[in-house]
Chain A
Amino acid sequence: MSQLREYADEAAEPRERTAGRRLTIGWQHAGRPADLREHYERYGPLPDGGRGGRRSRRGLVDAVAAAGLTGRGGAGFPTGTKMRAVVSRRGPAVVVANGMESEPASEKDQALLARAPHLVLDGAVLAAQAVGADTVHLCLDRTRNWQVDEVLRAIEEREQARLDPIRLLVHELPRHYVASEETALVRWLNGGEAKPMATPPRPFERGVQRRPTLVDNVETLAHVALIARFGPNWFRGAGRPECPGTMLVTITGAVRDPGVYEIEAGSRVGDVLAMSGENDSDSILIGGYFGTWHTTADIAPLPMTTAGLRPAGASVGAGVLFALPAGSCGITEAARVLDYLARQGAQQCGPCMFGLPAIADDFAQLAAGRPEGDTLARLARRLPVITGRGACRHPDGAVRMAASALTAFAADARAHAAGRPCLGAHRRRPDSGGPPIPRPGAEGEWR
């Protein structure tokens, strides 16, 4: 506990105290990234001017663990545990800040980097010092060149202020759904393709340049920067004991005010959805394209946490809520998402290369109401066979999304399978407001 004292809770809290707002302070005023001066006004300087002694840096690992911060990239792994795993390995470490945000319906990491880049960079530098790394690799999607420019400008500002004793390198990676998976980042940074690798070894064991590597989502790192300033007890002042803090969510689809919101972890799904205004949607996709479809009435009362959503077979994932427009066909939209995921595989593992296109084809038949044979029976056989057999979780996520659509839209699925597609399927137009599907880019490009 003595080490935690250096992050005592008496430390100044953010001056602009808007209920529940931590990462998003000042966002409503700014259409541009906060510069270093504005950033300091908002949050104060780094503890010890960012150059704390070895003891206080190691103290940060304990503070993050005590805060109960979990990864905000999708997997929700305890960040303190991950940091400790890296610290326990021998030799100099490396930090990878994951800003790829390849989930098409998610915009939170882009919003965070566009408004508060210094908070992310603070967190990355502090995490690097805490785990004994001298370099931070910030990975971004190369198709977002404005974002790369903004982040580079922020780093330049820090260099001019001689702020960081840590090297900050920005990398532009090819855009693919699976390229943001942590082993894909490591493989790319080591000179390979941005494709996931079979584990073990996990990055904390052997990552960039074979060193122990901490891979954290950029939002997670922003929370680390706040825990370093204000302490674990302050962090636990929001959220619930079992899921403390705040988190960013992206609410899209048929809602009045789509966008990125900051919520207290553990808020009910219905309350989160209500932040974006009234809607008449019956069904939502929660978590992202690896997530699950539910009727809104079923999922709304549940807390948006790993444990809270588990009974419904759902998870928080990357914090995406997509509201299906009323009158849309859920089977058709699920088929579009599944087709996208099937095309987004790294073409490495058989079950993913052949299994996903096969079930995507089944779904396309179902959506069109032109089943070849017993499509539902075929899906019931195929879906469980694919899960758990890839190097990464891409096939598992796609299967989960597909299976959840068959449950959430069960009656509709039966009608489609009997050759009677619903009106929503007939009336669909490109602007019907389905889940966003990125335009096929340079998809052959993995390096």
Chain B
Amino acid sequence: MTLKLRLDPTACTGHALCADLLAERIELDEWGFPIILGDVPPSLAAHARRAVRACPTLALELLPTRDDSREERARHRERDS
């Protein structure tokens, strides 16, 4: 399942640990603030979770992508019916 990184820019103060732990998807701008480069494939999910946990200001979140959540709902519907 592909995951989506969401950053709360009002919480982020640029500690930049996330860019170390998930360099494949997060780079820093010249002022030291993270730029998210794209969604997280399953192969990077563990790294992404580590980056989320490491953020001192809890500014980073890992969410299911919209398509996945739609599939998820469809699965639930099937199970319920």
Binding site for B on A (CB under 8 A): 197-198, 348-352, 354-355, 358, 382, 385, 389-391
Contacts and interface: CB of A to CB of B under 8 A. Distances in A.
Contacts of A390: 9
Contacts of B11: 198
B9 A349 contact: yes
Interface stretch (B29-37, B48-56, B72-80): B29-37
B14 interface: yes
Contacts of B12: 349-350
A389 B35 CA distance: 8
16 contacts: A198-B9, A349-B9, A349-B10, A349-B12, A350-B9, A350-B12, A350-B29, A352-B9, A354-B33, A358-B30, A382-B30, A385-B35, A389-B9, A389-B33, A391-B8, A391-B9
B64 to A, nearest CB: 15
Question: Which 8 A-B pairs have CB atoms at the shortest separation, nearest pair first?
Answer: A350-B33, A349-B9, A354-B31, A348-B10, A391-B10, A198-B8, A391-B9, A385-B29
B65 interface: no
Contacts, number: 40
B33 A351 contact: yes
Contact of A351 (B8, B9, B13): B9
Interface residues of B, number: 13
A349 B30 CA distance: 14
A354 B14 CA distance: 11
A350 B29 CA distance: 10
Interface of B: 8-14, 29-33, 35
B10 A355 contact: no
A301 to B, nearest CB: 38
A425 B33 CA distance: 34
A352 B9 CA distance: 10
B31 A358 contact: yes
A206 to B, nearest CB: 16
A348 B31 CA distance: 14
A350 B32 contact: yes
Contacts of B10: 197-198, 348-349, 391
Contacts of A352: 9
A265 to B, nearest CB: 33
A59 B17 CA distance: 53
Nearest to B7: A389
A378 to B, nearest CB: 10
A389 B10 CA distance: 10
